Structure 1
């Protein structure tokens, strides 16, 4: 009830309008003179945004560029765009991407980065020469290899062969790309890819690298479908919903993109995606981070389709990647989620004119640039007539009125859903609003059955943040999934309209001296993005679960105590959900899972 939205605050300095920073150039060949100039474009105290501009000042085309510089101790690059960054100590190197290395005479290209510290670059070199306009060494980039040919296709493997690329100084090796992502680097002109999934479609291409480490253009692609399998890998959860939240800001510090749903195998197992979050301002729905949503340019290796974005295409960013995902996995439905912990403050004003609010939301969802992307809307109001980040006093009928207006505006052909509190205590948040009356207008509720307990109570007692049931010693009665579901059913919400919530993260304390739940603590355990919170993919290795309570897992390592769900506890929760007749499950959020999507798989398997 807290984590899902506080995460956004950790990236506030990254959610900046980057539109116009991405320059996509067209191909060409090598050059004689060039400059590299640096500018600090933003400074927020603890960090800054820097930009380099490379300009061809000569008379011959440049085919590649490499900028090197030194930072003083304490200053470093934390993330970058439009170049490939590497470092050795305080020495930093940025090389062109495959699509922006070519500069005709007089042309320029910029790349940028976010940095920590306060220092400035020194000892700049451009392609090993001066950055101030002197002669710049260069050589020809390699040509594109031939389009691969596929043979020896089995349930789990395929052999690829291709004709060699050419280069003036010789070819060093080839990158093999599967669905746009590099899976191998080989010195020859053949490769056998194994460990594939039966009855699954893949796309392969190759890219050459010369002895100067320049990469050339990507070859044509060959489509391959492995033998065996079923009808293409669509999910088979019966009539159950398996929905995941995709966070808009995850494309920055978390480096999690729509394509990760494909490479992890998750896309074939989910049924729905909630895109989080749109904002609610002045009683209206609005896009929040426009750069991430529809302007960020993706290279071929980053995109779902394997095709690079161009500077003049009408839609880029997450929305275009979601469009490509739906083309590849047509069973997936995408909903635009508005609100969340950070952006729920605008719902009170929205409720004062629910019809106008609903109309504004539909205008965003049906914007002509992405009208085909979204299949509905999700409202995440935390919390109607109760307190979240701020306190709402709209009254118990406000939520029902909002739901009714949304259904009237969107009609029967759109999905209209809501994420709601899971506070099952007497007189708690479920009792504060008319969730029973509102359910007639909604397709389902995402019941946020997590974040019950955590280091927001820094001294404990330690308790699982997502208990399925109550247990002896639970710090607050009614703070568990079973109590919340029972209360919602009692208020008239059909079981089939309730989805059980799963967190793909843990909550933890430090200064704990006992392994069993109920111990005292001194504060929040260290976390990658926020103290007291850590992704499952990290915890499974750094603090493996060594106990279970109330249907979820806990772990005690050193003096830290964590609770989180594992594939085994998720299996138990899905069995419980089916026995309760629930409509399925949802989770927050994709990037907390492992690279092979083991938690998504556990939900999918458990719902069958």
Structure 2
């Protein structure tokens, strides 16, 4: 049977077997055009696809999206990219590499080295596959890259950098670390701010964390900053009174009361339901007449807004911004309002779950928790530094670095001067490890003084000295144990990087992990001076 299709000029005929016309199934169909004259068929479709020689071809689907690229080997002017392959029913021909949305290369492999970049600059990379018919598929997820070096952002003015340390209320117990230790270690003279951790968040309100430690414990003369013992009838005892004495001795130090933390962040969901009421409760507690002179502001440690930490929050992307706006409105412009925030710079990670850019207008700064990226919660490894500054070959998860986190915050519009780099005064480690370099297998967490898989720097310094460095931080392999931690040298490297990035300063968790002479605090302070 013969059917005719009239072209723009001339006559074309389409030959089909009868089975193809009456919907019968069975043998494959072959067909073609026989035409005369100039021009070509128009408006010709078969099963919804073009049959006039154009694209897409009938029955040929475009390729899938490739996997999100991974960035490694980042330098001042280059980056190495690699990505999981796309799939296609007819075969993938090549890949377009897009930098900030513009094609910079077409490659036939699943890797590409981009060169000629600017130092200290943010870039975003995606990849798009092309099949043998030159059909392009959807674009992959994006990876943020910040090249090293550069002077895009001026360093903070000398003397203006924030040098902040966390003091834990429970440190006065088993750790026997009192406010006075900030004086005897020399650390009090080298910091600008203290975050007192933690106040609780419960019932939609700010609440006392440990009343005995906070304002009731009586310190002896040798434990006291002033050298005078507390008495049973004085109006205020505990850590709050010791902080008051510290501020009298070092009047330039500012103290913030930090609420939440890993354990108590589950209460922020209720707080977000009525931000104004939450802010009022926090103000009433921080400004209580018994200790109002002790505190210069409030810090919120929500782990994590609209994402999961110890528990999962589903309060929505706007909740964090709403809470910070309410706190600023209540505390006013003269008080310090800050927040500890995630350092998950991976594609689709926690930074993207909440409106950190919108909330930035209400805070003095963000403490970006650039540590705890990797640890022995992955009991079999691979071993990896818990606080890498940059990416490195073999990193277990792309985007889990300080540089990636800072780059993403800057990319969404958070000013560099409102970002503080975080340093852990402890290490994370595994046991059952035979390999010295990162990437080894393990049998479980290494033993720690207070918790499996974690140990203070002051202990690791001598018990398992560093044997190498990777991605700007140190690691140590001793016996069957493998640890990663920061040393005075690596802290110096990180402080130089922070200054070059124009960051507002640095913070650390927490004082009691340092040596008796405060060598880590000294390295941080000297590095920012």
What TM-score do you get using the length of structure 2 for normalisation? 0.70
Alignment deviations for residues 377-423 of structure 1 (CA, whole Å, 9 cap, x no partner): 00000000000000000000000000000000000110000000000
Alignment deviations for residues 462-495 of structure 1 (CA, whole Å, 9 cap, x no partner): 0000000000100000000000000000111000
Distance in 1 (CA, whole Å) between partners of 2:468 and 2:379 is 22
- Following TM superposition, by how much is the alpha carbon of 1:287 offset from its aligned partner in structure 2, in angstroms? 0.8
Alignment deviations for residues 40-69 of structure 1 (CA, whole Å, 9 cap, x no partner): xxxxxxxxxxxxxxxxxxxxxxxxxxxxxx
- Following TM superposition, by how much is the alpha carbon of 1:546 offset from its aligned partner in structure 2, in angstroms? 1.0
Residue in 1 that maps onto 2:340: 419
Alignment deviations for residues 96-125 of structure 1 (CA, whole Å, 9 cap, x no partner): xxxxxxxxxxxxxxxxxxxxxxxxxxxxxx
Aligned mate of 1:459, from 361, 364, 380: 380
1:383-398 matched pairs, under 5 angstroms? 383-398=304-319
Partner secondary structure for residue 379 of structure 2:
coil
Alignment deviations for residues 220-268 of structure 1 (CA, whole Å, 9 cap, x no partner): xxxxxxxxxxxxxxxx961100000000000001000000000000000
- Following TM superposition, by how much is the alpha carbon of 1:299 offset from its aligned partner in structure 2, in angstroms? 1.1
Distance in 1 (CA, whole Å) between partners of 2:159 and 2:188 is 16
Q: 1:548 to 1:600 in 2, by over 3 A?
A: same
Residue in 1 that maps onto 2:503: 582
Residue in 1 that maps onto 2:230: 309
Q: What value does the CA root-mean-square deviation take over the aligned residues?
A: 0.7
1:602 aligns with 2:523: yes
1:163-178 matched pairs, under 5 angstroms? none
Alignment deviations for residues 147-185 of structure 1 (CA, whole Å, 9 cap, x no partner): xxxxxxxxxxxxxxxxxxxxxxxxxxxxxxxxxxxxxxx
1:39-118 matched pairs, under 5 angstroms? none
Aligned mate of 1:557, from 478, 483, 490: 478
Structure 2 residues not aligned, in runs of 5+: 1-156
Q: 1:237 to 1:264 in 2, by over 3 A?
A: farther
Distance in 1 (CA, whole Å) between partners of 2:292 and 2:438 is 49
Residue in 1 that maps onto 2:270: 349
Distance in 1 (CA, whole Å) between partners of 2:481 and 2:201 is 38
Residue in 1 that maps onto 2:185: 264
Q: 1:251 to 1:237 in 2, by over 3 A?
A: farther
Alignment deviations for residues 404-463 of structure 1 (CA, whole Å, 9 cap, x no partner): 000000001100000000000000000000000000000000000000000000000000
Distance in 2 (CA, whole Å) between partners of 1:433 and 1:482 is 20
Q: Which has the higher contact order (CA 8 A, sep 6+)?
A: 2
1:127-526 matched pairs, under 5 angstroms? 238-526=159-447
CA contact (8 A) 1:251 1:257 kept: yes
Distance in 2 (CA, whole Å) between partners of 1:367 and 1:525 is 43
Aligned length, in residue pairs: 373
Distance in 2 (CA, whole Å) between partners of 1:539 and 1:300 is 31
Partner secondary structure for residue 391 of structure 2:
coil
CA contact (8 A) 1:237 1:605 kept: no
Distance in 2 (CA, whole Å) between partners of 1:261 and 1:303 is 11
CA contact (8 A) 1:450 1:502 kept: yes
Alignment deviations for residues 494-548 of structure 1 (CA, whole Å, 9 cap, x no partner): 0000000000000000000110000000000000000100000000000000100
- Following TM superposition, by how much is the alpha carbon of 1:552 offset from its aligned partner in structure 2, in angstroms? 0.1
Distance in 1 (CA, whole Å) between partners of 2:293 and 2:505 is 25
Indicate the structure with greater strand content: 1
Distance in 2 (CA, whole Å) between partners of 1:538 and 1:556 is 15
Distance in 1 (CA, whole Å) between partners of 2:171 and 2:500 is 34
Structure 1 runs of 4+ aligned residues shifted over 6 Å read: none
Distance in 2 (CA, whole Å) between partners of 1:336 and 1:491 is 28
Partner secondary structure for residue 301 of structure 1:
helix
Structure 1 residues not aligned, in runs of 5+: 1-235
What TM-score do you get using the length of structure 1 for normalisation? 0.61
Distance in 2 (CA, whole Å) between partners of 1:570 and 1:301 is 32
Alignment deviations for residues 17-52 of structure 1 (CA, whole Å, 9 cap, x no partner): xxxxxxxxxxxxxxxxxxxxxxxxxxxxxxxxxxxx
